[in-house]
Amino acid sequence: MHISPAELKKWKEENHPHLLIDIRESYEIAQCTIGGQPLPMETILSHCQEFPKDKAIVIHCNSGKRSDAATYAVRQHTQREDILSLAGGIQHYAELFEPEMTCAS
């Protein structure tokens, strides 16, 4: 159910087909981003039919807690196993690969 920051970075570098969804609040996205498509957590289930079927879906938040819950709900709703949560969220990704980026804690 998870993808590590290292695996996501590799996917991005290799143009591996995926859709990155950022479920954080707009003020959090304004502070830092890794290029995810903004989609408020409370609306994610109503947008599942719009997700591409030929790409994995990676959901992220700040620390991974909200994205874990959203990923579980979307997987149950869609019966898809290629819905993944970014382990540790954008904070962990930034710590590893973009230390100059400051994200809300």
- For residue 62, the domain's CATH number is 3.40.250.10
Per the structure, the complete domain to which residue 57 belongs is given by: 2-97
Confidence of residue 105 (pLDDT cuts 50, 70, 90): low
- State the total domains in the chain: 1
Contacts of 7 (CB under 8 A, 6+ apart): none
What is the per-residue pLDDT across 67-84, written as a single tens digit (0 to 9) for each? Answer: 999 999 999 999 999 999
Q: How many CB atoms lie within 10 A of CB 21?
A: 24
| pLDDT confidence band for 31 (50 / 70 / 90) | very high
Q: Report the predicted TM-score, pTM, of the whole model to 2 decimal places.
A: 0.95
CA angle 49/80/61 to nearest 5° reads 80
- Is 42 a domain residue? yes
